[in-house]
Chain A
Amino acid sequence: DGGITQSPKYLFRKEGQNVTLSCEQNLNHDAMYWYRQDPGQGLRLIYYSQIVNDFQKGDIAEGYSVSREKKESFPLTVTSAQKNPTAFYLCASSISGVGNQPQHFGDGTRLSIL
């Protein structure tokens, strides 16, 4: 079945460590996105990529980095500069990066600080 796979489901990070969240899609979608959810807040956009080898900052990019070397993969690195990384992270994709295309979501990764 086509879809989006996020791994791991749960991730624990020690203070000062960088961690990378995986997102893979086999939908042949051009665009991919990373969101963060915190209690009582809506999903907030971290980074998005409309095409391979290109990506843009979203609303809360500080402390995060991404790469888009392959169409099907959009990993997110949470760096030690992210002071409050504990959150639920969702990856999504859409056929194109145009705003009238629905987004398809993965199951998410929950990141916690040890």
Chain B
Amino acid sequence: ILNVEQSPQSLHVQEGDSTNFTCSFPSSNFYALHWYRWETAKSPEALFVMTLNGDEKKKGRISATLNTKEGYSYLYIKGSQPEDSATYLCAPNTGTASKLTFGTGTRLQVTL
């Protein structure tokens, strides 16, 4: 089983703050890196799937970067809003089959 680490474990920011989280994973046999957002009482929702070293993806105020050589990805949220409050999960995939290994997540709380 892959060792996937996410930091910080939790984060509490004020509305309007920008923030970022880290996902670290083994760089060998890398195929893809998934990011999901999991709001309380809802199901996890896919944010990004990244495959190329140096890749950067953006969805509204959320963006992510990928470094496959050193085995890490950053997720950025610009101008956090209360609706961004959720747990953010990363999951690398080694090999072509979709067999994800999830990190424990970063829990973000955004207050007014």
Pairwise interchain contact B32-A43, C-beta atoms closer than 8 A: no
The secondary structure that dominates the B interface is: loop
* Interchain CB contact (< 8 A) of B31 among A96, A99, A104: A99
Chain B contacts with A in 85-100, Cβ cutoff 8 A: 89, 91, 93, 95-100
A94 on the B face (CB < 8 A): yes
B19 CB to nearest A CB, Å: 21
Given that A40-B104, A105-B44 are contacting pairs, would A98 and B97 also be in contact in the complex, using a CB cutoff of 8 Å?
yes
A41 to B93, CA, bound (A): 18
Smallest CB-CB separation from A99: which chain B residue? Answer: B93
Residues in B neighbouring A107, C-beta threshold 8 A = 42-43
* Interchain CB contact (< 8 A) of A45 among B31, B44, B100, B104: B100
Proximity bits, A82-105, B CB within 8 Å = 1, else 0: 000000001010101111111111
Pairwise interchain contact A44-B102, C-beta atoms closer than 8 A: yes
B7 on the A face (CB < 8 A): no
A2 on the B face (CB < 8 A): no
A92 to B38, CA, bound (A): 14
Given that A42-B103, A48-B98, A59-B1 are contacting pairs, would A102 and B49 also be in contact in the complex, using a CB cutoff of 8 Å?
yes
Binding site for A on B (CB under 8 A): 1, 4, 31-32, 34, 36, 42-46, 49, 51, 89, 91, 93, 95-105
